Structure 1
Amino acid sequence: MEQAENIIVGISIGDLNGIGGEIVLKTFEDPRMLEFCTPVIFASAKTMTFFKTHFKSEIKFHSINTIDQLVIGKFNVFNCWNEPVKIEFGKEDLKIGQYAVKSLQKATEALKNNNIDVLVTAPINKHNIQSKDFNFPGHTDYLAKELEGESLMFMITDNLRVGLLTDHVPVKDVSNHITSELIEKKINTVYSSLKKDFKIERPRIAVLGINPHTGDNGVIGTEDDDVLRPTLQKIKESGKLVFGPYAADSFFGSNNYKNFDAIIASYHDQGLIPFKTLSFGQGVNFTAGLNKIRTSPDHGTAYEIAGKGIADENSFKEAVFSAIQIFKNRFNYDELTANPLKKAPKSERR
């Protein structure tokens, strides 16, 4: 298979009452975006016309009912529904949540069938998407079920990558979830992703402790000594450059994070608070470890500013750029792995 020059980017529209429609339009109003990717928005022409009118966008889109009607180099809108939808910006609405689910399901189906190359998801409301037929905490968990591989929430920006041992787990349950098996699995996923998705041959990975001051020799909890340290030592002996555990409170402020290709945090806020502080709205949520590529902006529905035309599209735009670059890196890695002599210098060929 030859790599497509113009990568097809599938986009699930997210919560229609949030800022998803606005940041999608703003991202692709620059016609240069269509020179290196073809977007397919999974929503409806009527919905996108509403957004276009409301935000006074001059973007032109191509409405399609089947994926084979897609036109390369155009802003395609795949009709997941035909009925008009009542959009009330800033309002949490269970009916609107179901449209977000329809969009995500159709986009994921296209991704699984190789009709799109990558998936970028606009923000959803984790509460209003719930139903008897769709019971997932969010995108990551749903995609982990639908796609192959071991999923991991990987927050990425130019000079910082943060993975999580546990993601949407209550703080009171974090230590019970962290086992040697989980630690090994997550580190292996990060290590593999750094090599094939980010072109880093010998990744250096730092791991943050579970307890304050990594337990202070058992004074503030024993999980770091009993579970984390022995497991990290075992992984080091396998040849991977894994370091820690580090006390999380001083790790980022001391700029120690700059010495590593990735940092693995023990729980959600331990990793995402410093990441979002340092990334200044340029961060991307990448679901690493799956056989397909999915990214998203590092923010939510932002109901408080929805519909006002002031949403910042930079994180969403970075999610599109990241998905494209990861697709290219992974394609090249797979090509090189399949044919190791392809790019090797003549002196190394036998």
Structure 2
Amino acid sequence: MDKFEKIKLGISIGDFNGIGIEIILKTFLDKRMLDFCTPIIFGSTKLISTWQKTLNTNIPINGIKEADKAIENKLNVLNLWKEDIEVDLGNPSVFSGEYAFKSLEAATKALSNNEIDVLVTAPINKDNIQSENFKFPGHTEYLESQLEGESLMILMSDTLRIGLITGHIPVSKISETITSELIQKKVAILHQTLIQDFAISKPKIAILGLNPHCGDNGVIGTEDDTVIRPTITDIQQTGKIVYGPYAADSFFGSGNYKNFDAILAMYHDQGLAPFKTLAFGGGVNYTAGLNKIRTSPDHGTAYELAGKDKANINSFKEAVFSAIQIFRTRSEYKSLTENVLKISN
């Protein structure tokens, strides 16, 4: 891709009874956004028009049947269905879950087939989207099943990147899921991501402990001493700059996180609770480790705000900018490494 060529940005609509379409439209009310990308919403012009009436907006949209028909400097809508859909603001339904999946499925296929360059996903409801075709805890796991690579969920802001060793699993399963092999795999994904997607040549990574106070020498659990510490030692011997385990209760409040390029938390809430405290409303969820780039806002469907013109667009807008920047950084990395290989041959 030419350095100045506009990136084709695919957007899945999420649950249309939530704030997904609202934050998409409000983001592109700012016409300057079209200077950075060519957006393609996977949905229907009828549905987008319904939401335009609700928000009293009048953004010109370009209806298309194929992604390659998208026009620059326009908000493109790829029509996946023709039928009228009743929008019931604030109320999740079987239908809103069904159409959320139709949008996600089509956008993911387009991403896999290089019809779009990156994907930004609006929030889904993890309950009503469940079906015979979608039996996943969330976007991350579905995308991993459809694309190449092994995923790592990263929540990120300007000053903070937190990856998760375990993702959407019950708390009761966390301890038995954490193994030396899993930690090493997630560190490898994060390390490579920091190099190729964020242009950090020698990443510094912190790993949090599992138990309170990292187990207090076995008084409050043994996993930190028997699994996590030996694994960190093994990883350090490969040359990676990795430290830990750090007690999670004091790591963020002390500001220690600022000394690292990224942090790996052992489980979902251990990482996301401090992240959303420090960065909520401006953070981005990035699915690292895959051969394609997907980002999303750091919040959910927010049914209670749907249609009230109160939804904050900052996180979605940051997700758009992050996807574009990561795509360009990764493209440059690939170009540089391919040239090195050609020269060495």
Q: CA deviation at 1:73?
A: 2.2
Deviations 1:4-40 (A, max 9, x none): 6211100000000000011000111111111120000
User: Aligned letter for 1:147?
Assistant: L
Distance, in Å, in 2 between the alignment partners of 1:58 and 1:129 is 29
8 Å Cα contact 1:298/1:315 also seen in 2: yes
Deviations 1:234-273 (A, max 9, x none): 0000000000000000000000000000000000000001
Distance, in Å, in 1 between the alignment partners of 2:61 and 2:285 is 27
Q: Which residue of 2 aligns with 1:153?
A: 153
Deviations 1:268-318 (A, max 9, x none): 000001001111311000000000000000000001111111100000000
Unaligned runs of 5+ in 2: none
State the SS of the aligned residue for 2:340. Answer: coil
Q: Which residue of 1 aligns with 2:12?
A: 12
Q: CA deviation at 1:92?
A: 1.6
Q: Which residue of 1 aligns with 2:276?
A: 276
State the SS of the aligned residue for 1:24. Answer: helix
Distance, in Å, in 1 between the alignment partners of 2:237 and 2:10 is 41
User: Aligned letter for 1:212?
Assistant: P
Deviations 1:316-341 (A, max 9, x none): 00000000000000000000101139
State the SS of the aligned residue for 1:271. Answer: helix
Query: What TM-score do the two structures reach when normalised by structure 1?
Result: 0.96
After TM superposition, list the pairs within 5 Å mapping 1:19-98 onto structure 2. Answer: 19-98=19-98
Query: What TM-score do the two structures reach when normalised by structure 2?
Result: 0.98
Distance, in Å, in 2 between the alignment partners of 1:51 and 1:3 is 35
8 Å Cα contact 2:280/2:298 also seen in 1: no
Q: Which residue of 2 aligns with 1:321?
A: 321
After TM superposition, list the pairs within 5 Å mapping 1:95-110 onto structure 2. Answer: 95-110=95-110
The change in CA–CA distance for 1:4 and 1:149 in structure 2 (over 3 A counts) is farther
Q: Check if 1:312 corresponds to 2:312.
A: yes
The answer to which of 85-94 and 322-331 deviates more is 85-94
User: Aligned letter for 1:128?
Assistant: N
After TM superposition, list the pairs within 5 Å mapping 1:237-316 onto structure 2. Answer: 237-316=237-316
User: Aligned letter for 2:26?
Assistant: K
Q: Which residue of 1 aligns with 2:199?
A: 199
Distance, in Å, in 2 between the alignment partners of 1:181 and 1:98 is 37
* Aligned sequence identity (%): 61
Q: Which residue of 1 aligns with 2:340?
A: 340
Distance, in Å, in 2 between the alignment partners of 1:302 and 1:85 is 20
Distance, in Å, in 1 between the alignment partners of 2:242 and 2:334 is 24
Q: Which residue of 1 aligns with 2:136?
A: 136
State the SS of the aligned residue for 2:40. Answer: strand
8 Å Cα contact 1:22/1:51 also seen in 2: yes
Distance, in Å, in 1 between the alignment partners of 2:323 and 2:203 is 20
Distance, in Å, in 2 between the alignment partners of 1:71 and 1:184 is 44
Cα-Cα RMSD: 1.4
Q: CA deviation at 1:58?
A: 2.3
User: Aligned letter for 1:21?
Assistant: I
Distance, in Å, in 1 between the alignment partners of 2:166 and 2:333 is 28
8 Å Cα contact 1:3/1:331 also seen in 2: no
Distance, in Å, in 1 between the alignment partners of 2:289 and 2:122 is 20
The answer to which of 315-324 and 333-342 deviates more is 333-342
Distance, in Å, in 1 between the alignment partners of 2:236 and 2:82 is 55
Deviations 1:138-194 (A, max 9, x none): 110100000001101000110100000001011111010000110000000000000
Distance, in Å, in 2 between the alignment partners of 1:12 and 1:38 is 14
Q: Check if 1:236 corresponds to 2:212.
A: no
Q: CA deviation at 1:69?
A: 1.8
Runs of 4+ in 1 over 3 A off after TM superposition: 1-4
Q: CA deviation at 1:2?
A: 4.0
Unaligned runs of 5+ in 1: none
Distance, in Å, in 2 between the alignment partners of 1:4 and 1:132 is 42
The answer to which of 333-342 and 23-32 deviates more is 333-342
The change in CA–CA distance for 1:4 and 1:84 in structure 2 (over 3 A counts) is farther
State the SS of the aligned residue for 2:206. Answer: strand
8 Å Cα contact 1:12/1:107 also seen in 2: yes
Deviations 1:177-220 (A, max 9, x none): 00011000000000000001001000000000010000000000
User: Aligned letter for 2:143?
Assistant: L
